[in-house]
Structure 1
């Protein structure tokens, strides 16, 4: 099938998974922990991922699946068609009744994303990207054209372990030294979507990221005219260490803030 057909399935699958997740939002749902007290999961995560996979399989039954939950692949293969799924990106927000969370789906071909959708049902927002551009609620969007650092709002994203909180502090210090304002939203996909929409100028982390937290949003930022690199300034890939996404007017300044954590 064509990239356009994959893009249509990306959006329909993300919407379907988001509907399942939204059914349980702000209900008395049981919360489990995985690798830490704030690394949480619910049956809504698993149910939503299964729904996304079911929609994908209707059109692409043989494609590989990378998914955060259950026994799906955990890394993006270098070759062939792949679907990258995060059923609830921002589960810690979700279980605290905070509406900033997303169901994320990306279609990848030979290691590169070709289409993506981030659906934020509690906010009523749907971000979609394909070969032609990026849209928020069917309206075309692009990165901010702000080039004055004092006008920048930047967000650190992807959480740090307790052992590395000094690095998080270093990044925050680097950001407040250089830029006008700071945010943290608790959902990497939502944050990357905001960069693509010009709602933020940049987002940074120096930690290794998971593909389900990043691939869709990275595609959106790039298609919206932004730049995404690793911590060293090289083009970002799912195997990269660190992620620095910006509107590309002051990318080197954002990189310098990100590197503050490891200097």
Structure 2
């Protein structure tokens, strides 16, 4: 099927998952932990993922789904079509009744993104990208044209584990010394969508990134005119350690920030 069909399914699936998440937001949900006390999950995460998978399967019943929860595959296949799902990116915000969380869906083929959608139900915002254009609430948008680092806003993202919090401190220090301001949304997909739509100029981390936290947003940034690399400045692909995303115009400064964090960590 065409890429336009995949783009339509991506936004339909993201909306389906986001309806579940939004409907349970600020409800009385028990919270469980996974790998650590700050790695949390709720029944809403699982139900939202189920709705996304069901929606994808209505059109693409035989294609692989990569997802955060349960027994779905955890790595992106290098050949063939697949879907990458994060039912609630920003679950810590979700359980704290903070509206910065998103449902993200990406369609890939041979590990290359073809379409993506990210829906933030508490804000009423839906981002979707085909192979050519990014839309926010059906209006075309693109990265900002800010070219001076001292006017740019940059986001440190993907939480550093407890034994690496000094790296987070160094990330914040490196950002505020180079740029106009710092934001932290607590959701990598929300941060990347906002970068793609021109609300911030950079998103940076030096830690390992899960595909469900990144691939949809990476595709949006690129389609919207931005740039995404690894810590060496090479084109980012799923599985790379670290992620450096920008509007393109300030990429060298964002990359220098990431390298400073990483060098200090060593």
* TM-score after normalising by structure 2: 0.98
2:192, 2:160 → 1: CA distance?
Answer: 17
TM-fit CA distance, 1:262: 2.1
Other-structure match for 1:239: 239
Other-structure match for 1:88: 88
Other-structure match for 2:140: 140
The question of whether the paired residues in 2 share the 8 Å contact of 1:113 and 1:216 is answered with yes
Would you identify which runs of 4 or more consecutive aligned residues in structure 1 move more than 6 Å? none
Q: Deviations over 1:201-227 (max 9, x none)?
A: 001000010000000000000000000
Is 2:230 the partner of 1:230?
Answer: yes
TM-fit CA distance, 1:186: 0.2
**Any idea what SS the aligned residue of 1:36 has?**
coil
1:182, 1:231 → 2: CA distance?
Answer: 20
The question of whether the paired residues in 2 share the 8 Å contact of 1:66 and 1:85 is answered with yes
Report the count of equivalent residues. 263
1:163, 1:23 → 2: CA distance?
Answer: 35
Other-structure match for 1:149: 149
Gaps of 5+ in 1: none
2:255, 2:59 → 1: CA distance?
Answer: 40
Other-structure match for 1:62: 62
Other-structure match for 1:213: 213
TM-fit CA distance, 1:6: 0.8
**Any idea what SS the aligned residue of 1:108 has?**
strand
**Any idea what SS the aligned residue of 2:88 has?**
strand
Other-structure match for 2:249: 249
Q: Deviations over 1:60-91 (max 9, x none)?
A: 01100000000000000000010000000000
Other-structure match for 2:72: 72
Gaps of 5+ in 2: none
TM-fit CA distance, 1:132: 2.3
* TM-score after normalising by structure 1: 0.99
Other-structure match for 1:184: 184
**Any idea what SS the aligned residue of 1:22 has?**
helix
1:137, 1:210 → 2: CA distance?
Answer: 26
More moved, 33-42 vs 185-194: 33-42
| Residues 23-172 of structure 1: pairs in structure 2 closer than 5 A | 23-172=23-172
1:190, 1:37 → 2: CA distance?
Answer: 23
The question of whether the paired residues in 2 share the 8 Å contact of 1:116 and 1:216 is answered with yes
2:231, 2:39 → 1: CA distance?
Answer: 24
TM-fit CA distance, 1:253: 0.9
1:218, 1:78 → 2: CA distance?
Answer: 17
